[in-house]
Amino acid sequence: MGYKSEGRMASYTMSQLADPGKKKALCARLARVEGQLRGVQRLIDGDADCEKIAQQLAAARKALDKSFFTMVGCMIEQDDLSGDHVAQMLAKFA
């Protein structure tokens, strides 16, 4: 139960992060991603090998993907959205 309904827009319910523990965990994960991206910037500024930069970018991308899918999982657990809407959202953003 990580989300609460906020109202109707179009034909679906908007949700938002409501569970303080899940919100804190997501923010912590995003802070780690932020650190990874700063590290990538340092690698680029320091003329690091392109393969090393690509490796770090891939790690940051995977961390963002995990954050996204964790959030979607919370929405499904909360049952705020229909299966069709979740599928549309995944097609749009994933």
Residues of the chain whose pLDDT is less than 50? 1-12
Of 74, 73, 69, the C-alpha closest to 1 is: 74
The reported pLDDT for the residue numbered 9 is 41
The reported pLDDT for the residue numbered 11 is 46
Place of tokens 């899918």: 69
Q: What is the pTM of this model?
A: 0.70
The reported pLDDT for the residue numbered 13 is 53
The reported pLDDT for the residue numbered 41 is 97
Say if CB 90 and CB 25 are below 8 A apart. Answer: no
Q: Which two tokens stand for residue 64?
A: 């963002």
Q: What is the pLDDT of residues 55-79, one digit of tens each?
A: 999 999 999 999 988 888 887 777 6
Of 28, 25, 7, 3, the C-alpha closest to 16 is: 3
The reported pLDDT for the residue numbered 48 is 97
String of b and e for 6-16 (b: at least 16 CB within 10 Å)? eeeeeeebebe
